Amino acid sequence: MSAKDSGAKGVRQQPAAALTPRPLRLLLVGRVKPGQEPALRQVQARFPVDAAREANIDAIEAFIGSGYYAVQLEIGGSDV
């Protein structure tokens, strides 16, 4: 059945696993007010690593600067 026949326009019909190989990486980006970077670095230093492990988060990387805060979570498990 084609995408036209199924009523979905431009949607590929593939199993979800084919679209989400492991590990998954989730990037969260936020804005930081000028001058608030030091306070954010203190909060980041207290990141709940044990809770992240329990949630199947294998790695965490963060960037703070130029008015932005970006944190990338690498998720190896299938249930987060």
Identify the residue whose tokens are 């990387």.
61
Q: Say if CB 70 and CB 63 are below 8 A apart.
A: yes
Per-residue pLDDT in tens (0 to 9) along the chain, 80 residues: 444 555 556 676 756 555 666 788 999 999 999 999 999 999 999 989 899 888 889 999 999 999 999 999 998 877 76
Kindly state whether residue 69 falls inside one of the protein's structural domains: yes
Kindly state whether residue 29 falls inside one of the protein's structural domains: yes
Kindly state whether residue 36 falls inside one of the protein's structural domains: yes
Domain that holds residue 36: 23-80
The structural domain count of the chain equals 1
Kindly state whether residue 11 falls inside one of the protein's structural domains: no
Domain CATH code at residue 53: 3.30.1070
Helix (H) or strand (E) holding 44: helix 37-45
Kindly state whether residue 41 falls inside one of the protein's structural domains: yes
In this prediction the pTM is: 0.64
